[in-house]
Structures are given as structure tokens and as C-alpha cells.
Amino acid sequence: MPMIKNRKGETVVTNPKQNELLRKLYGSVPGRMLLKVLTSPVISKIGGAYMSSPFSRPLIKRFIKSSNIDTSQYIMHRFHSYNDFFTRKVRPEMRPIDTEPSHLISPCDSKLTVYKINRKSVFRIKDSYYRVSDMLANSFISRRYEGGYCLIFRLEVDDYHRYCYIDNGIKTGNVHISGELHTVNPIALGRYNIYKRNTREYTVLHTDNFGDVVHMEVGALMVGKIRNIHGECNIFRGQEKGMFMFGGSTIVLLFEKDRIVPDSDILRNSAEGYETIVKFGEKIGVRAKYRKE
């Protein structure tokens, strides 16, 4: 089960039933055989089509109850499908954006872990190692982030599934990398290098305060769609960048060396093996004094 703390330092448990199901799927031979079917693009598309159809509407009330969703935080209306509900918009006053230019903000509601990228661009997640070059499928870009930070934001199914830009600046085009669709839950990490195998999409953000930042979305089990709104364009802090359709998903941010200093509680939790609960638009670090070498 994932180890999670809130910003107060309290240990919390989220989605225990989902975690138990995933443990059974990834921890047994029959479960892994079933996963080979469930994680295929065809099955994901079928599941996504159902979740976008009116036939999925009865699932909404059941999900609100089982996940204890606080509907007062969201703009609620008559949803046409489960996906319509899943991508519901939050009330702006419930996710205020920290506008201090030197503050690094979270792009989403999630469970955050921070890693330092070493000289070989390899970082560790639980018991598995991941190369930045594998994630990006681009060794040239990955070399720029040696000595910097990798921030991993894991969204669960009851999180807000829209995400924003972390700063003002200029966005490059979207790069799509096809792959299999595995869950982003840490339970899967023991057997699958999910950040290398999953469908993902990234862009480079030329930001005003944090240098050139790689912003990547990683698709997950039953998430057939990563929906980014913009191509190349000017961007603004807190502006909506896109959304995930049904399922748990992940956002990865890569920062160059000496560009940011993550908040101490997040660094401490990450070092101890805990994820930290963060919210869309809240401060998670600060701009570092950049030293060009």
C-alpha cells in the first residue's frame, strides 16, 4: 500500500480497496495474465468509449459515495457520461493559484515524490530504476537535466484530473510516445517500468522563473486519452493545460540543475519513502538562484 503524508506531516491512507485489487492483479500469475488483456490499447479504447457514453451515467452516484467526493468543491451539473463527471471543473475559489513569481506551484491535485537526477540521469522509484532518457525517448534532451530534479505527481481516481501550467512562458509542441497502459499505482512498480512502457506525452516549457521545464503526462490503466489543449503558444501560471480521462494518471516535471528548491517537508517525505499530498496551484518549492556553469 502506498505510504502517504499530508502537508501537516500526518500519515494518511487513500483508496484502500483499489490498492488491494491492484495488489492481487500484479501479485499473481492469473492477475498478470488478465493485465495483458486489460492493458492493451483496444481494451482501453473500448473502456474509454463506454465511460464517455450515456450508459455510464449510473456509475457517477456510486463513485461519489464510495470515494467520499466532496461535491461542494466542484461545478456540478447534469453530466452526460461518467467521463463528463470525471473531468468536472473545480470551483476556482477551492484551488487558489499562488501568484508569487518565485514560488513553484503544483500543476495538479496529486501525491508528490521528488528525486534528484544524478549524473547518469537515473533515479529510483521504490525498487525500480528509471532513466530520464527512457522516459523522453530522447537522450539529447535528457542530458540537460543531469543534476536537476524530477518531480512525480501521481493522481488517484478521486483526484481532480485537470492540470495547469506552473509559470508564465512559452510552450513548445507536444511529443507523443505510444506504449502500454499500466496503472501508475506504486504497487505496479515492482514488476513494470511503467514510466518507460506507458503511453505518454511531453512538452518543454520555456518558463520565466524556472528555466526550461519538461512537463510530461503519463497515461494509465483504462486511460486511453491524455487531452492537452494547446500546441505551441504563450502560457500563463495557473492556466489550464489539459486533462486526463477516466483512471489514475501521472504528471512528471523535470527541472535543470540549480533552478528550484523543493519545500523541505516534500524533500523529507520523499527521502523517507512517503508521497506528499499536494493541491492544484499550491506552493511546493521556490526558485533557486541560477548559476550558469
The single residue of 44, 106, 142, 249 carrying the catalytic annotation is 249
SS3 of the chain? CCCEECCCCCEECCCHHHHHHHHHHHCCHHHHHHHHHHCCHHHHHHHHHHHCCHHHCCHHHHHHHHCCCCHHHECCCCCCCHHHHHCCCECHHHCCCCCCCCEEECCCCEEEEEEECCCCCEEEECCEEEEHHHHHCCHHHHHCCCCCEEEEEEECCCCCCEEECCCCEEECCCEEECCECCCCCHHHHHCCCHHHHECEEEEEEEECCCCEEEEEEECCCCCCCEEECCCCEEECCCCEEEEECCCCEEEEEEECCCCEEECHHHHHHHHCCCEEEECCCCEEEEECCCCCC
Q: How far is it between the farthest Cα atoms of the chain?
A: 58
| Lookup: cell for 8 | 501537516
- Per annotation, catalytic residue among 44, 52, 81, 109: 109
In whole angstroms, what is the distance from residue 154 CA to residue 142 CA? 21
**Active-site residue flag, 67:** no
186 burial class (0-12, 13-18, 19+ CB within 10 angstroms)?
A: buried
Where do we find the cell 501521472?
Answer: 250
**Per-residue cell: 61:** 452516484
| Rounded Cα–Cα distance for residues 57 and 167 (Å) | 36
Q: Any catalytic annotation for residue 249?
A: yes
The residues annotated as belonging to the active site are 109, 249
